[in-house]
Amino acid sequence: MTNKINSKKSGLKIGIELYEHQKFYVKKILKDIETTNKINYFISLPQGAGKTLLSLAILSELINKGRVEYALILTPRRVLVDQWIEEANKFFYGLKIMKDPKLSKQNIGKTRTLLKHSQAHAIAMTIQSFRNYMKKGYFRERDFDLVIIDEASDSTLAKDFLEKYRMSYYLEGLEKWRNLKLLVFPKDVDESKLENMIKKFNEKLSELIREEPESIEKLQYEIKDPIIIDDPLVNYFTEVLDNEYRTIRRKVLNLLKKLNVKGYQENLETLLRYKTMQKLKKIYGLDEETITIIQVLITKYILIKHLLKWFLYSNREELKRTLLASQFQVKEWLNQKDKKLEKLKEVVKNLLDEGKKIYIYSEYISTAEMIFFYLKKNLSLKDDEIELITGKVEDQYIRLDKFKKKGKILISTPVFDKGTDIPEVNSAIIFTPSRNIERLHQIKGRIRGGEIITLAYKGYEEEIIKQIVQLLRD
C-alpha cells in the first residue's frame, strides 16, 4: 500500500474512496482524453453526485499520467474558491491549490515559475479575477494544461436581445483556448444554455457527460405547502401595482411590435443599455423621441417591480423613503407590525425548538440583512448562532465554516446559491423566491435532503408561491 501511494505524485488520502458513479466518470473521461481528440468535457450531474471531488480526482490522475502539470480552476464566487481548496486538502495528498495569487507586471510570463515555487499544481480564482488578469496580459493559454470551470452555467448569460445566449463578459475568449477543459454544470441547467455553450466551445471537440448512474443517491425532500399570511392591505397594494405593471409592459410590447423590433420581449430591461439602443437605431432606424418613450415606459415598470418587492418582502425602510409613504393606507400599513416577519420568527422558533439547523434564502441583500437583525434581536440569538452571507461579506467561507460547526441559522443571498453544500441543514426557508427554475433547484440542492418551506401573503403572492412549490415538487 505504501509503495503504491509513494509512486504517485497525487491521489486520494488513505481511507478516502470515490463512490461508484464517480469512479465510472473518472475512468470514462480519462479514457476519452487518451483515445479521442476531445478537449472540452461538459459534466452535468445532479446534486449529491460530488462534482467537485470528481473533477479533483480527474486532475489528480492527469497529474500522475504527466498530462497536466498546472491547472486553472475558475468559480463564479469567492466562497467556491475556498471550497475547492478545502476539498483538495481534505481528500487528496500532493494536490495543493494556490488561492488567487497577487500578480503584477513583474510576474508576467512567470506563472509556471510561481506555481512551481509554491509547490502547487493549480490556481483557483473567481471569473472576475481571471478577467482582470487576462485584460492585463498576466495569463496566457500556455501557462496551464487544464482549465476547470465550476458552475459553468454562470458563464453563459440568459437570452439576450439579438444574440440569444452569450458568453459571460468574464470568460469571453476562453473557448478559443486549446487546453483540456472540464466545465461543471448542475443537472437542472437550461438545455438551450448547455447546447449553446457546447457550440461555442466547438461541438467536434466537446463531450457531454450527463448520464445518471443508479449508484447516485436519490435525495429526499419534503416540499411543504406554503404558509399563508393574511394581510388585506398588502394584497390590495400588490394587485393595484401588478395591474399597472402589466398595463405598462403591454404598451412597450405593442410599441415594439409596431416598430417591428424583435428579440427583446423577455428582457425589456436590456433596452435601457446605451449600446443596445445604438444597435436598434442602426438596425431599425429608430429616432431619439421613440427611444425616449420606450425607455421611460421601461423605467416606470421597473420602478413598479421594485415597489411590488418592497411590499411583499418586508422592505419597509425603502417604502418609507418614497412618496407612497404619505398615502393614507400605506402609512397605516407601515405603522403595523410586519406580519410576514412575525410568521417567519414563529416558524424559525419552532424549528429551533425541534433542534433543526436552518437555511433562509433571500434574493436581495437588504432583505437578508433585515431578516438577520430581526431574528437575532427577537429570538435573542448569540453571535455564533446566526450567520449572514451576502455579496457584501468578505469572509464568506469563514462564516460558512462557523455555521457548520456551531451555527443554528444561516441567511444568504444568490451569492451562495450554487456549488456550495450545507448538508448539515434540515430545513430551508425560501423567503424571497426566484422566478428562475434553475436557481430554485440549486437552492433546494444545497441542503442535501430535508424540508423546503415557503411563506406567502394570501391572494396575489399566494398563487405565485403555489406555482413555485409545484415546480419544486415536479
What is the per-residue pLDDT across 153-173, written as a single tens digit (0 to 9) for each?
A: 766 655 543 445 455 667 778
CA distance 430 to 438: 15
Q: What is the CATH number of the domain that holds 404?
A: 3.40.50.300
Residues 297 and 343 in one domain: no
Q: Yes or no: say if 397 and 416 are a contact pair by the CB < 8 Å rule.
A: no
pLDDT at position 215 over 70? no
Structural domain containing residue 253: 232-334
pTM (2 d.p.):
0.67
User: Which range, of 136-150, 208-222, 421-435, averages the lowest pLDDT?
Assistant: 208-222
- Domain ends where: 308, 334, 360? 334
Domain count across the chain: 3
Quick one: pLDDT at residue 186?
A: 78
CA distance 82 to 77: 10
Residues 202 and 60 in one domain: yes
Mind listing the pLDDT tens digit for each residue in 35-94? 999 999 999 887 667 888 999 999 999 999 999 999 999 988 887 888 899 899 999 999
b/e map of 210-228 (b: 16 or more CB within 10 Å)? eeeeeebeeeebebeebbb
Name the average pLDDT for the chain. 84
Q: Is residue 58 part of a domain?
A: yes
Mind listing the pLDDT tens digit for each residue in 429-473? 999 887 777 777 777 777 767 899 999 999 888 988 998 888 887
Q: What is the DSSP letter of 326?
A: G
Q: Is residue 215 part of a domain?
A: no
